[in-house]
Amino acid sequence: MYKDETDSDQSSPLTKAILDNKGSNVTEDEIKEFTSNLELAHVYLENGKYPEYISCTNIIRNMIMEKSVLLTQVDLYKEVPFYLESLTKCIETRPVSLLILSSLICRYEEVVEILKNTNIFEIFSDIFADNNNTNVTSSLFEFIYYIFKRDSSAIEEFIKIDGLGYIIHVLHSLSFIDEDTSEMIDNIGYTIIILVDNVPVTEIEDFLMECTHSFICFHKYQVAFYVLYYTIINLGEEGFQKYKDFLIEDVFGSIDWIMNKIGIVIENEENPENSQDISPDDIIELKRAIQNGLILTEACISNYKFKDYSNVFILDNYIQIILNFDKTFSKLGMRILRAFIQYNPGILEDILERSTLINELLTFDEKPYILQEGIISLIFTIFDYMDASQYEKISSSIWEKIFDYIDDCDSIDTNSRLIRIISDLVSNGYSIVNFLPYEEIISQMEIKEDAEPCRDSFLAMYKTDYDYYFGDP
């Protein structure tokens, strides 16, 4: 019979090893509890007392998570073969054993070498064959993710045992599971991202697209957009044309859902007291999804001259991102809209016809300062692509607000761009009278050297017109 030494004055060798090197934030009682449970876990597993083994191992893992210093004071990686053995003993022991293996591989490089000398992939194959436990699946993919992160060469072995087929099987089965599977989907997503980064897309194209479909169905857009971006970029024009309909119907069609979530994010950031419906982690995930979606959209437009904006929600929604979201997303939305305007000649007229947008632009000075840069950039882009027939749509009142912004931001890049725009507008027939109040500001503005000719040209035209209107008769 096993004698529990927790209450004994006699410490085990493991306890002594930790006590000799213990940190200031680990008490002697905690160390005794830790080592006692380690020793009990061995006894319980050997004697088939699986509930007791699970209880002890949960305590061990929780203590590792709370007191990671324990791992620095004993070579706990030597326990890896024991926990691998537990995976083969009983299905019920697998979730907690996999979790503690994940904790160990996170902290010990030696674990990778141990795994290379074991039959780990045979164990995985057995788990694939008889697993219908959500907790096992979630813990399994957390462990696999850390294996791949430590040793990307393990991916080849994973593929050999049809690990990709197992992932697809799990994703397809999620529709029939009533319990919360969010954590499991996240762990699968992290694993897929590692695969994308290490395996040629052409070798796993069908697998990646199948996963993308599933992640969009589960509203896990962060992973879906990331995977699709790298798939499309690596397959090039041929890949874009192949999946163009999917992009329009499933991916860009999802933007309406995301925009609704953006509204929730903005509202909760402005009014934290109303944030019970969405957690900080949810907000982070949504922001990453939005960013990946913006990057994917920009790649499709810029690289493949994507023009089907009229069939989706893209135009209005990305304009709203520019006008209402933070600087990072505003800049991405700005690049997207610039690409739209560049490759879709008719889109500018659509933009100018949107009275709500024009009103937003005219009141940009009422927006938070952090958003104003993106809105100014949008206004400048519109000016860049306008032709003379559209100049009548430029409200003269906007110039006062632009010059007020210029005075506040004091950016040589913004100043230079404005000078080029003004010079082009006036050269193409826009009335120079609109700039009469700003001649002195324009003359003294700090700009880049390559913008000087534009300023000289404007001032020459200004002098000619000034003399014409206000000179001696």
pLDDT per 10-residue tile (average), the chain, 473 residues = 32 41 63 86 92 90 73 71 88 87 83 87 85 76 90 92 92 75 85 92 93 88 88 86 80 68 62 61 77 81 65 59 68 76 75 67 75 80 86 86 87 93 92 88 92 91 64 46
- Look-up: residue for tokens 């680990």? 26
Q: What is the pLDDT of residue 12?
A: 37
For residue 37, give Cα distances in angstroms to 15, 96, 106, 243. 11, 14, 21, 54
How many other β-carbons are positioned within 10 Å of the β-carbon of residue 327? Answer: 12
Q: What is the pLDDT of residue 393?
A: 82
Q: Which two tokens stand for residue 99?
A: 């979790």
Q: What is the pLDDT of residue 420?
A: 95
Q: What is the pLDDT of residue 325?
A: 67
Q: What is the pLDDT of residue 183?
A: 81
Question: For residues 263 and 269, what is the distance between their CA atoms, to the nearest angstrom?
Answer: 10
Question: For residues 225 and 244, what is the distance between their CA atoms, to the nearest angstrom?
Answer: 14
Q: What is the number of H-type helices and E-type strands within the chain?
A: 26, 0
